C-alpha cells in the first residue's frame, strides 16, 4: 500500500525526506511527523502514513509522545526559577508542606527535576479513575514514604515525574501544568497539550503497541523492597504508563505530564526553539538552560536497567543516544522513539512524533532522521 507523505522539506535536506520515507518502507512506521527548525525558520515539516484506520496523518494530528513531556513540564518549572518564584535548591515542602511526609522534607526542586526526589512510585493503591483527579494523585504522592533518602540515589521517576513537577508548578502559580502549558505553548504557536480537551481529541492519532499490552493485575502483596517499587511505578494506578488505556478519552483528558503529553512534531520543534531562543524570546534564560542541560549525576538506574545521566529535566547528547554531532545538544526521548531536542550551537530544534510504539529506548527510525539531518548540515 502506498503511504501518503506530504509537507515541506528544503532541498538541502532531501536525504531526511528519503529517510522519512524509508521509515515507512523498511522500519515499520505507521504514522509519523518530523519537523526541524534552524534559527526559528522551518526547514523540514513532513507528515506521513496514517493516524488511524483510513485517516491520514496531517499537520493537525497530535499523538501521545510519552516522556518527551518530561522535558516540557521541567521547562515550566525552570521558568518559575527564572521568575524568582522558586529556587532550585529550595525544599519542595517549603511551598508544598504535605510533601514533607515520609522522610521527604529535604527533597529539593533540583532533586525533583533530576529524578532524585525519592518517589518513583506511589505506595497508596489507586484506580484508573484517579488519573482524572489531579488532587488525588498529588496527595497520594505527597503521602508516599520515600523509597530512598532524597538526593542519595538517581532512580527514574517514570510516571510520578509529571505529578511531582506539575504540582510544583501548581503550588507556585495556582495553575495546573496543563493550564500553565497553554499560556506558554500558545505564545509559540506550539501544538502541545497536557490533558487534551474533548473537542480536540478527534485530532489524536491511534497509538499502536507492538506487542499489544493488555491490562494486567499485579499482586503487590507478594512483592517487597525495590521489586515492589518498580512494579508500583509502572502499574499504580494500573494505567499509569498508558497500559490498556492509551487510546481512551480517560487517558487523553487526564493530566499525566510525564507520560500523556500529546503533541505534533512541529509543536515539539517550536517548543525547543523557544527554550534556546531561536527566532523568539527564550522560554528559559541561557544560564539556566546551561545548568539544566548539564549532567547532574551518572549512576545505574534500576528502572531503566542501565547507567544513565540526567540534567534538570533534559538529557544531554551522549554516545549511546546521540542528538546530532554537537556536544551541547539536549532533549528528551519518549517511549517508542518520539523525540524533541535542541542544538544550541547551530540554533536547531527537532521534533519527531509517531504512533507505532516499539517498546525499546533505541529507535532506528529517529536515528535515521537525525543521522541524515546532520550529514546534510
Q: Return the CA Rg of the chain.
A: 19
Confidence bin at 359 (pLDDT 50/70/90): low
Write down the mean pLDDT value for the chain. Answer: 95
In three-state secondary structure terms, 306 is: strand
Total domains, the chain: 1
pLDDT (tens digit per residue) in 124-151: 999 999 999 999 999 999 999 999 999 9
pLDDT (tens digit per residue) in 31-46: 999 999 999 999 999 9
- DSSP code of 308? E
In a domain, 210, yes or no: no
**pLDDT at position 193, please?**
98
In a domain, 40, yes or no: yes
256-281 mean pLDDT? 96
In a domain, 359, yes or no: yes
Q: Where are the alpha helices (DSSP H) in the chain?
A: 14-26, 68-82, 109-113, 134-143, 160-173, 177-188, 225-235, 249-253, 265-276, 286-292, 364-376
Integer Cα distance of 276 and 289 in angstroms: 8
Q: What is the pTM of this model?
A: 0.96
For residue 34, give the CATH number of its domain: 3.40.710.10
Integer Cα distance of 344 and 322 in angstroms: 15
By percentage, how much of the chain surpasses pLDDT 70?
97
In three-state secondary structure terms, 343 is: strand
Contact 316, 322 (CB under 8 A): no
In a domain, 224, yes or no: no
What range defines the domain where residue 30 resides?
5-69+191-205+254-299+315-376
In a domain, 309, yes or no: no
**pLDDT at position 216, please?**
60
In a domain, 164, yes or no: no
Give the sheet arrangement for strand 262-263, strand by strand. Answer: 63-64, 262-263, 192-193
- Specify the higher pLDDT residue, 259 or 321: 259
In a domain, 148, yes or no: no
Confidence bin at 213 (pLDDT 50/70/90): low
In a domain, 294, yes or no: yes
Contact 351, 265 (CB under 8 A): yes
Contact 330, 315 (CB under 8 A): yes
In three-state secondary structure terms, 221 is: helix
Task: Provide the residue count of the chain.
Answer: 377
First to last CA, the chain: 33
pLDDT (tens digit per residue) in 110-128: 999 999 999 999 999 999 9
**pLDDT at position 68, please?**
98
Amino acid at each position: 500500500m502506498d503511504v501518503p507523505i506530504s509537507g515541506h522539506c528544503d532541498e538541502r535536506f532531501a536525504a531526511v525526506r528519503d529517510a522519512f520515507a524509508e521509515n515507512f518502507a523498511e522500519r515499520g512506521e505507521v504514522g509519523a511527523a518530523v519537523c526541524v527548525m534552524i534559527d526559528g525558520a522551518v526547514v523540514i515539516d513532513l507528515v506521513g502514513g496514517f493516524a488511524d484506520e483510513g485517516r491520514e496523518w496531517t499537520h493537525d494530528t497530535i499523538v501521545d509522545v510519552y516522556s518527551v513531556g518530561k522535558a516540557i513540564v521541567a521547562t515550566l518549572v525552570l521558568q518559575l526559577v527564572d521568575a524568582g518564584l522558586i529556587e532550585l535548591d529550595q525544599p519542595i515542602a517549603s511551598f508544598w508542606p504535605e510533601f514533607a511526609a515520609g522522610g521527604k522534607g529535604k527533597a529539593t526542586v533540583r532533586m525533583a527535576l533530576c529524578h532524585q526526589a525519592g518517589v518513583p512510585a506511589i505506595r497508596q493503591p489507586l484506580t484508573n479513575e484517579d488519573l482524572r483527579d489531579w488532587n488525588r494523585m498529588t496527595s497520594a504522592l505527597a503521602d508516599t514514604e520515600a523509597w530512598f533518602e532524597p538526593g542519595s540515589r538517581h532512580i527514574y521517576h517514570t510516571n510520578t515525574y509529571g505529578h511531582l513537577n506539575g504540582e510544583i508548578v501548581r503550588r507556585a502559580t495556582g495553575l495546573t501544568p496543563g493550564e500553565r502549558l497553554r499560556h506558554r505553548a500558545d505564545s509559540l504557536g506550539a501544538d502541545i497539550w497536557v490533558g487534551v480537551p474533548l473537542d480536540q481529541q478527534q485530532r489524536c492519532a491511534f497509538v499502536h503497541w507492538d506487542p499489544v499490552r493488555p491490562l494486567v493485575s499485579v499482586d503487590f502483596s507478594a512483592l517487597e523492597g525495590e521489586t515492589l517499587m518498580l512494579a508500583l511505578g509502572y502499574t499504580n494506578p494500573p494505567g499509569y504508563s498508558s497500559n490498556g488505556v492509551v487510546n481512551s478519552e480517560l487517558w487523553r483528558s487526564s493530566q499525566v505530564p510525564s507520560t500523556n503529553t500529546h503533541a505534533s512534531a512541529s509543536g515539539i520543534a517550536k517548543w525547543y526553539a523557544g527554550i534556546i531562543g531561536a527566532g523568539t524570546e527564550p522560554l528559559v534564560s541561557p544560564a539556566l538552560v546551561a545548568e539544566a542541560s548539564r549532567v547532574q549525576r551518572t549512576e545505574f538506574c534500576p528502572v531503566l536497567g542501565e547507567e544513565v545521566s540526567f540534567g534538570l529535566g533534559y538529557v544531554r547528547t551522549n554516545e549511546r543516544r546521540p542528538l546530532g554531532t554537537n556536544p551541547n545538544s539536549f532533549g528528551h526521548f519518549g517511549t517508542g522513539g518520539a523525540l524533541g531536542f535542541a542544538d544550541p550551537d547551530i540554533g536547531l530544534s527537532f521534533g519527531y512524533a509517531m504512533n507505532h510504539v516499539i517498546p525499546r529506548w533505541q529507535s532506528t527510525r529517529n536515528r535515521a532522521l537525525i543521522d541524515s539531518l546532520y550529514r546534510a548540515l
